[in-house]
Amino acid sequence: MAVKSLVLTGYGINCEMETAYANRLAGADATIAHINDVIDGKYKLEDYQILNFPGGFSYGDDLGSGKAFANKVLYAKTPKGPIMDDIRKFIDDGKLIIGICNGFQILVKMGLLPAFDKDYRAQTTTVFYNDKGFRDAWVNLKVNPASQCIFTKGIEKMYLPIRHGEGKFIPGDKAILDRLWKNGHVVMQYADESYKPSMEFPMNPNGSVDSIAGICDETGRVFGLMPHPEAFNHIVNHPHYTRMADEYRRKGKVMPEESDGIKVWRNAVAYAKEKLA
């Protein structure tokens, strides 16, 4: 079975091309669709196994990053009924959802993350203004081994780019934060060069509580993160690529072409082939 992946776009989402490309590199048949075409029924969620909310600046971040787009999805109706019914069925059917940067903000403000007790409407966390303004950089990420996230299976650490002004992850209160950790919702944290989680700037680029960079729901199949895995889809994307290439050449070794970012979708595609065929 060919794994089919739907990549949303529209209203300021601007990373749909890279996201679709990463899906295709991982073996998925990716389709880019405007959110209005999904709402109107031109594209049906039931035909896909992976749903992608890419990065961008939807609605110019008016009302707060991701809020307007989240509300559009929350209250939209397809020809069959509320689109949230389709999204809930998508999740109940064992399928996969990923939100990146603005997509993560959208998922959080829709209530799809962390979705305690499978309540996919209640917002319990938020993503707020960075402590030190907009940040465009690369970050080290430590993956939580206790997380059930399908997308990061077998991954211990990552090095990915970030580019956001509203990436500070904040839980509603300490009880929510404790539950995020206890139940394995925390997927990854910003870290130093030794991949030890750090609250210090610039390792933690936005001041996120507990350096949290990404979370998942209790199924491990709905995942959101602020860093951009789709922007590191080949080793040549690495900021130190030329130096690394020289080092590999001097050592007489072949530099691997596989990047950290593409592993996220390879995991998703492998899961879909095994579980959703």
Catalytic residue numbers read 101, 228, 230
SS3 of residue 183 by DSSP: coil
Measured N-to-C along each axis, helices 16-25 and 260-275 cross at an angle, to the nearest 10 degrees, of: 60
Q: Which residues contact 214 (CB under 8 A, 6 or more apart)?
A: 104, 141, 149, 186, 187, 188, 223, 224, 225, 226, 227
Backbone angles phi, psi at 265, to 5 degrees: -80, -25
Burial of 58: CB neighbours in 10 Å, binned 0-12, 13-18, 19+:
buried
Backbone angles phi, psi at 198, to 5 degrees: -135, 140
Partnered with residue 214 across adjacent β-strands are: 188, 225
> Within 10 A of 150 (CB to CB), how many other CB atoms are there?
21
The enclosing H or E element of 107 equals helix 102-110
Burial of 233: CB neighbours in 10 Å, binned 0-12, 13-18, 19+:
buried
In residues, how long is the chain? 277
Backbone angles phi, psi at 260, to 5 degrees: -65, -40
The answer to whether 114 touches 180, Cβ cutoff 8 Å, is yes
Write down the residue that tokens 């020289």 correspond to.
246
